[in-house]
Amino acid sequence: MSMSLRLLRDRIPGASTVLMLVVMLLLIAAVTEALGSTVLSRFAIRMFIDMTLVLGLQMFMGNSNILWFPHVGFMGIGAYASVIFSMSPLQKILSLPELYPFLADVNLPFLPALLAGALVAAAVAAVIGLPLMRLSDFPAVIAGFAMLIVIHAVLTHWEALTNGPQTLFGVERRTYVMNSAIWACVFVAVAYWFKESKSGLQLRASRDDLVSTSSIGVNIVAVRWFALVLSAFAAGIAGGLFAHFITSFSPKAFFLRETFIILAMLVIGGPATVTGAVLGTVIVTIVYQTLRWVENTLNIEQVFAQPIAGLTDITLAVMLIGMLILRPAGIFERREIGWQALRALWPWTGADAAPEPAADPQVVRKAAETKQRR
């Protein structure tokens, strides 16, 4: 291993994990751009958007072990807010005729509008999520699901901001392969930084033993609240990217179906690791899009007398059930990919690493005798 790689490994813990994941995502984006396929580009963009969303969910749910349903609701808030900030005044007259006057003339460039929409989502999460951070286990899950229902109802009926249950149209497309991939890479780094930060370690400690963590002075509500706000910000970014990719949408896009898909991505990959969030998104996207193509092809060719419906969702549900039975912690349970995985592929990268010394049998025996006497 070269001196520069060794210094990077020693000085920046987890650098190899972030580097390997980012390189993989950029390679996927570069290959997609090189092939020039419109269909493949749409699949890749949606995968990167979902990955940003799943990484945001991992920051809260993966580190706190609280099943969290409202995440897609914050995505919807970010989507509508970013569109309001970026849409031209003339288009707002057509798409949002009842929009409040103080918002009618707001017209920001895409990046400031995207960030502003994410900040709105984070602010909403900070306000309505704080009381819920005192809950754990089943009460937290039920309260979170209730929050998703509330957010969906507000998005559906606040016609001045969302056009109600009708489709919001006239959004300019600003999301492409490279900028969606860059945002996914950014949140790979943010999710890993948070996981290894002081707040992330405290949140994981509360996940493993809530009583002990509270007894040593950790403010559980505060660390959960910080993770929730950061998670909602990521969801807001994903929502803004989605809105400026799909260009027309309704509140139905941010409800139970999307919630199920995002949870499946995280659970199958492994909620406790950033690697699991990334690779779970890739795996589920490939399976999901392939099954959709098969289902559509069978219906177009009229292979069966009756159209096939629900094949994709049923298969994804069976995958999720099978994973929960056979490997409840996901594909990547606790360990991230990193230098160890690199050594397994290329042994020369670890040639200079000293082997771990074996335990002295006499020391082990004496320790066992001392423990028995006590």
pLDDT per residue as tens digits for the range 333-373: 888 887 665 565 455 444 444 343 444 444 334 445 554 55
Q: Could you count the other beta carbons within 10 Å of the beta carbon of residue 165? A: 12
Q: Give the pLDDT mean for 127-135.
A: 93
Give CA–CA dist 228/6, Å, rounded. 35
Asked if 257 contacts 288 with a C-beta cutoff of 8 angstroms, the reply is: no
Give CA–CA dist 4/105, Å, rounded. 52
The DSSP secondary structure of 11-32, one letter per residue, reads HSTTHHHHHHHHHHHHHHHHHH
173 alpha-carbon distance from chain centroid: 22
What are the φ and ψ backbone dihedral angles of 168, each rounded to 5 degrees? -85, 120
The pTM of the full predicted model, rounded to 2 decimals, is 0.87
| Position 308 in a domain | no
pLDDT > 70 in the chain, percent = 87
| Position 180 in a domain | yes
- Position 339 scores a pLDDT of 65
Average pLDDT, the chain: 87
Confidence bin at 308 (pLDDT 50/70/90): confident
Q: Give the pLDDT mean for 172-198.
A: 95
- Position 344 scores a pLDDT of 54
Give CA–CA dist 115/361, Å, rounded. 59
Q: Could you count the other beta carbons within 10 Å of the beta carbon of residue 13? A: 11
Tell me which residue range forms the domain holding 147: 13-256+270-278
Confidence bin at 188 (pLDDT 50/70/90): very high
Confidence bin at 208 (pLDDT 50/70/90): confident
- Position 212 scores a pLDDT of 87
- Position 296 scores a pLDDT of 85
| Position 219 in a domain | yes
Tally of CA atoms within 13 A in the half-sphere of 367 that contains its CB: 6
pLDDT > 90 in the chain, percent = 68
- Position 358 scores a pLDDT of 43
Structure tokens at 321: 């059930």
Q: Is 67 helix (H, G, I), strand (E, B) or coil?
A: coil
Give CA–CA dist 84/78, Å, rounded. 10
Q: Is 165 helix (H, G, I), strand (E, B) or coil?
A: coil
What is the maximum span of the chain, computed from C-alpha positions, in angstroms? 83
Asked if 280 contacts 267 with a C-beta cutoff of 8 angstroms, the reply is: yes
- Position 360 scores a pLDDT of 42
- Position 369 scores a pLDDT of 54
More reliable by pLDDT, 11 or 282: 282
Q: Which residues contact 121 (CB under 8 A, 6 or more apart)?
A: 74, 75, 77, 78, 81, 232, 233, 235, 236, 239
The DSSP secondary structure of 272-296, one letter per residue, reads T-HHHHHHHHHHHHHHHHHHHHHHH
| Position 347 in a domain | no
Confidence bin at 24 (pLDDT 50/70/90): very high
Structure confidence by residue, pLDDT tens digits, 228-278: 999 999 999 999 999 999 999 999 999 999 999 999 999 999 999 999 999
Structure confidence by residue, pLDDT tens digits, 158-169: 999 999 999 999
| Position 21 in a domain | yes
Asked if 213 contacts 205 with a C-beta cutoff of 8 angstroms, the reply is: yes
User: End-to-end distance of the chain based on CA atoms, in angstroms?
Assistant: 46
Structure confidence by residue, pLDDT tens digits, 48-57: 999 999 999 9
CATH number at 214 reads 1.10.3470
Nearest of 180, 179, 187, 169 to residue 234 by alpha carbon: 187
The DSSP secondary structure of 92-123, one letter per residue, reads HHHH-TT--HHHHT----HHHHHHHHHHHHHH
- Position 118 scores a pLDDT of 97
Say if residue 100's pLDDT is above 90: yes
Quote the number of domains for the chain: 1
Q: Could you count the other beta carbons within 10 Å of the beta carbon of residue 24? A: 16
| Position 369 in a domain | no
- Position 255 scores a pLDDT of 94
26-40, 202-216, 230-244, 270-284 — which is least confidently predicted? Answer: 202-216
Structure tokens at 236: 């807001």
| Position 60 in a domain | yes
Q: What is the DSSP letter of 350?
A: G
| Position 157 in a domain | yes
Say if residue 5's pLDDT is above 70: no
